[in-house]
């Protein structure tokens, strides 16, 4: 039966609305799960359903080998066609991954001909890590149409949108993993800083334990917590640039030496600012010696002008410094150090941060104790 153009338009419109709805549903899942495999399966299955194609596969680029590996296939692939692994430039998916350009082609097997579409997944380069590459191909989505069906230009556009969605998910996952990797490296670096000054060995780790306990008590944003961890571990990184005889001087410092030691936040800033990936933590490293009343250094920032992370580190840093031996004085008792923190609330320290520190102590989230001369704040599960 002949269909009028009007009814064609209406069918098309309905189809487009259905596709758009499916796309929106798939995109909202991006924020609801961190499990990449589930997310990818959902994205591919939705694409297969709305486009009414036969099958879809996701190839991911394996970092170690630089080869494409099949990660997910919506429907099982027939045994004889099974090829899990492709080098760059090999096969259609390999060519698409190499050139970064989508490809539509006819695949013929016997007297059966099917349209296939291959779309590259391009992730955004990670700042500071992928400076040399403009775009990162992280994989390829392959769509195989039903027999005698063709991909329209609208279909290609829609699949491209699904591919972009998948690339965002992969990108998020990579960022998450990279921050985890950075944390591991930074923990090692923090140990190196502390080893330079054996008297304060363990200081950066302990300050980090206190800082995180205070942040949790202040109900900080969970996604920012890892940056705060990085910042506390590196808050003294600038001490690498301070002369050893000044750092280790047993007596009081001369004005020149005092000025020299005050340079450490700025040295830390210069060390970290070059690494774009660590830029988020630069203000915490630069401003953790500022005072709430504006009498600190290096800028004399006041109150909320000082980033919250730096205000938290300031309290944790002072408490740990006071309760441990320093070249120029013996450690204070825990209560004495606490009195000192409370006594300087509103002048040196942010009262909100001091309040959170006291609450964390009350609730037992922080338990200052001295074992074999070293301070401990947070009970370890394995202890
Ligand atoms: Fe410190």
pLDDT tens digits along 343-360: 999 999 999 999 999 999
- Average pLDDT of the chain to the nearest whole number: 83
Q: Give distance in angstroms: CA of 245 to centre of ligand 1.
A: 17
pLDDT over 70, % of the chain: 88
CA 234 to ligand 1 center in whole angstroms = 9
**What are the chain's domains?**
5-174 (3.30.450.40), 197-376 (1.10.3210.10)
Residue 23 pairs with which residues in a beta bridge?
none
pLDDT digits (tens, 9 = 90+) for 132-167: 445 578 899 998 888 888 888 888 888 888 888 888
Residues with CB under 5 A from ligand 1 (ion): 236, 317
Buried b (16+ CB within 10 A) or exposed e, 20-57: eebbeebbeebeeeeebeebbbbbbbbbbebbebbbbb
* Ligand 1 centroid – CA 80 distance (Å): 63
Of residues 30 and 168, more confidence is placed in 168
296 pLDDT above the threshold of 80: yes
Separation of 26 CA from ligand 1 center, angstroms? 46
- Considering only residues 309 and 16, tell me which one the structure prediction assigns the higher pLDDT: 309
Write the pLDDT tens digit of every residue in 220-275. 888 789 889 989 999 998 888 888 888 888 888 999 999 999 999 999 898 888 76
- Tell me the C-alpha to C-alpha distance, in Å, between residue 137 and each of 50, 88, 92, 132: 25, 11, 15, 13
pLDDT band at 21 (very low <50, low <70, confident <90, very high): confident
- How confident is residue 382, by pLDDT bands cut at 50, 70 and 90? very low
Q: Is pLDDT larger for residue 189 or for residue 43? A: 43
Between the CA of 194 and the centroid of ligand 1 the distance, in Å, is 10
CA of 55 to the centre of ligand 1 (A): 57
Phi, psi dihedral angles at 29 (to 5 degrees): -70, -20
Going from the Cα of 175 to the center of ligand 1, the distance in angstroms, rounded, reads 28
Distance 354 CA to ligand 1 centre (A): 17
pLDDT given for residue 275 in this prediction: 67
More confident residue, 23 or 355: 355
- pLDDT at residue number 18: 76
- Tell how strand 369-371 and strand 136-144 pair up: unpaired
């Amino acid at each position: 039966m002949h269909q009028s153009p009007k009814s064609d338009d209406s069918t098309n419109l309905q189809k487009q609305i259905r596709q758009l709805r499916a796309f929106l549903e798939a995109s909202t899942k991006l924020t609801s799960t961190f499990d990449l495999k589930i997310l990818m399966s959902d994205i591919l299955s939705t694409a297969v359903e709305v486009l009414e194609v036969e099958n879809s596969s996701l190839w991911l680029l394996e970092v170690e080998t630089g080869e494409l590996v099949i990660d997910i296939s919506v429907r099982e692939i027939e045994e004889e066609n099974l090829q899990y692994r492709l080098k760059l430039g090999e096969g259609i998916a390999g060519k698409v991954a190499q050139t970064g350009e989508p490809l539509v082609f006819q695949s013929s097997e016997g007297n059966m001909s099917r349209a296939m579409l291959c779309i590259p997944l391009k992730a955004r380069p990670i700042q500071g890590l992928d400076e040399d590459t403009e775009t990162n191909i992280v994989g390829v989505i392959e769509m195989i149409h039903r027999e005698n069906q063709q991909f329209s230009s609208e279909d290609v556009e829609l699949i491209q949108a699904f591919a972009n969605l998948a690339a965002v998910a992969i990108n998020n996952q990579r960022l998450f993993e990279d921050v985890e990797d950075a944390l591991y490296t930074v923990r090692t670096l923090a140990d190196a800083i502390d080893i330079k000054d054996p008297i304060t060995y363990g200081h950066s780790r302990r300050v980090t334990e206190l800082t995180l306990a205070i942040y949790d008590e202040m109900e900080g944003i969970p996604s920012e917590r890892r940056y705060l961890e990085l910042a506390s571990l590196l808050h003294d990184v600038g001490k690498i640039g301070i002369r050893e005889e000044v750092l280790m001087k047993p007596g009081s410092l001369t004005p020149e030496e005092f000025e020299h030691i005050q340079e450490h936040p700025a040295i830390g800033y210069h060390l970290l600012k070059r690494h774009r990936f660590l830029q988020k933590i630069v203000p915490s490293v630069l401003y953790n010696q500022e005072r709430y009343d504006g009498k600190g250094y290096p800028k004399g920032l006041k109150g909320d002008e000082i980033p919250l992370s730096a205000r938290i580190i300031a309290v944790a840093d002072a408490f740990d410094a006071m309760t441990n031996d320093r070249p120029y004085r013996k450690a204070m008792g825990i209560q004495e150090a606490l009195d000192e923190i409370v006594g300087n609330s509103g002048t040196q320290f942010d009262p909100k941060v001091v309040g959170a520190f006291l609450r964390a102590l009350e609730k037992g989230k922080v338990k200052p104790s001295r074992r074999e001369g070293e301070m401990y704040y947070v009970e370890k599960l394995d202890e």
